[in-house]
Structure 1
Amino acid sequence: MTTPPSAATRPSFPHLLRVTVFAIGALMLLVTVGVVLHQPLLIPPLAASAALVHGAPGLPLAQPRNLVGGHLMSAAIGFATLAVAGSSAWAAAVAAGLSLGAMMLTHLSHSPAVATAVIVVLQAPHPVPFLPLLALGACLLVAIGLLPGRIGGHPVRYPVSW
C-alpha cells in the first residue's frame, strides 16, 4: 500500500482518471436506480458522499459506518424536525444543525449528510420510499467505493474501517 498524496502533492493522471471514472459510475448507477424506481435518489448529498469515498477514502468521514449512519440519522432528524416545525428554510437550518450535533455525538460524522436533513425538511418526501432509497443509495456508494482498491493503483484501500 502506498502513501496517499498530501494536499500539496498533485495526484497522478491515472489516479485522477480512476477517481473521476468511479465517481461518475457510482452517480450514474444511482441515477439509473432512481429512474427505474421512478424516484430521484438524493443526488446532491450523495454526490458529495461519492466525492469523499473516491477522493479521500482514508478520511473517517468517508467510512461506511459514517456514510450510511450519517445519512440515515440526518434523514430521521429531518423528518422529526419536519413533523415539529413544518417545511421552511428556518426549520431546515435547525435540522442541519441538529444533524451535525447528533452525528458528532454518535461518532457518525459525515458532512454531506447534513444536506440530507435539509432536503427532507424542504421537500417533505414520504418516509416510506425515501428512507429505503437513501439506504440503498448510501450502500451502493460503499459497494462501488470498494472497487478501486481491489482493482489496484488506488493509494488508500477503502474502507479503512467499518
Structure 2
Amino acid sequence: MSTDRTTTLQPPPLSPQPAPDRPPARVLPRLAGRAPAPPAPGAALHSVSAATAVMLALVAIGAVVHEPVLIPPLAASAAIVHSVPGLPLAQPRSVIAGHLLCAAVGYGALAALGSAPWVAAVAAGLGLALMTVTRTPHSPACATAVVIVLRTPDPRTFVPLLAGSVVLLVLAGCALSRARSGSPRYPVYWW
C-alpha cells in the first residue's frame, strides 16, 4: 500500500523590512544595553524643572555675593540628585561632605602649590582619593577643587556659599521628591 503525499510549497511570509533611516530591530536591543527604561515624561519634566529651579536659586545667590563659579559643580550635583536620587553619590552624606572635603583639598593645594592647571588636576585627584577613603563619593565635587585652584575665590565668602548651596540642593531634592506622588524618595539615607 502506497500513499501519495503531495505537499504544496508555500513561500515564507514576507517580513517587514526596516525603514532605511532606522537600524534593524535586532540592533536596537544591543544599543540600549541593560539601561533601564526612560522615565515617564511627567517624571522627567518634574526632574528637569526641579533641577532648574534649584539652579536658578543658586545663580541668584551667587550673583548677590559675586561668586558665580559654583554653578558648574553644583549643576552636576543637581542633575545627579534630581535624576538618579537612589545612587550613593546622590545621598546627602556624599553631596555635602564631598563638596566640603574637595574645597579643603582645593584650598590646601592652592596654598601649597599656587594656581595652575596642573595643580587643579592634582587637587581633583586628591579630592577623589579623599572622598573614596571617607566613603563620600560625589564626582562633581572634584570640580569644586578645580574651581578653587583656578579661580582663587576668597574662602570667607566661598566656603559659606558652598556649604549653604549644597544644603539647599539636598533640601530641595528632599522636598521635591515628596511633591510628586510615586516618585522615588530622596534621600535613601542621610549619613
Q: Looking at both structures, which has the greater relative contact order when contacts are Cα pairs under 8 Å and sequence separation is at least 6?
A: 1
Kindly state the Cα deviation for residue 63 of structure 1 after the two structures are TM-superposed: 0.5
Instruction: Point out 4+ residue stretches in structure 1 off by more than 3 angstroms.
Output: none
Residue type matched to 1:49 in 2? Answer: S
Counterpart of 1:160 in structure 2 is 188
Residue type matched to 1:13 in 2? Answer: P
Kindly state the Cα deviation for residue 147 of structure 1 after the two structures are TM-superposed: 1.9
Counterpart of 2:105 in structure 1 is 77
1:90 aligns with 2:155: no
Count of equivalent residues: 157
1:1-80 alignment runs, 5 A limit: 7-40=35-68, 42-80=70-108
**Secondary structure at 1:42's aligned position in 2?**
helix
**Secondary structure at 2:38's aligned position in 1?**
coil
Q: Which runs of 5+ in 2 are unaligned?
A: 1-33
How large is the RMSD of aligned CA atoms in angstroms? 1.3
**Counterparts of 2:175 and 2:52 in 1: how far apart (Å)?**
13
Structure 1 pair 106–144 and aligned structure 2 pair: CA distance change class (3 A)? same
Q: Please give the TM-score of this superposition, normalised by the length of structure 2.
A: 0.79
**Secondary structure at 2:137's aligned position in 1?**
coil
**Counterparts of 2:65 and 2:78 in 1: how far apart (Å)?**
21
1:142 aligns with 2:176: no
Give the number of the structure whose alpha-carbon radius of gyration is greater. Answer: 2
1:131 aligns with 2:171: no
Q: Please give the TM-score of this superposition, normalised by the length of structure 1.
A: 0.93
Kindly state the Cα deviation for residue 148 of structure 1 after the two structures are TM-superposed: 2.4
Identity between Structure 1 and Structure 2 (%): 50
Kindly state the Cα deviation for residue 123 of structure 1 after the two structures are TM-superposed: 0.8
Question: Which structure: greater helix fraction?
Answer: 1
Does the CA contact (< 8 Å) of 1:31 and 1:41 recur in 2? no
Does the CA contact (< 8 Å) of 1:30 and 1:41 recur in 2? no
Kindly state the Cα deviation for residue 154 of structure 1 after the two structures are TM-superposed: 4.8
Does the CA contact (< 8 Å) of 1:45 and 1:116 recur in 2? yes
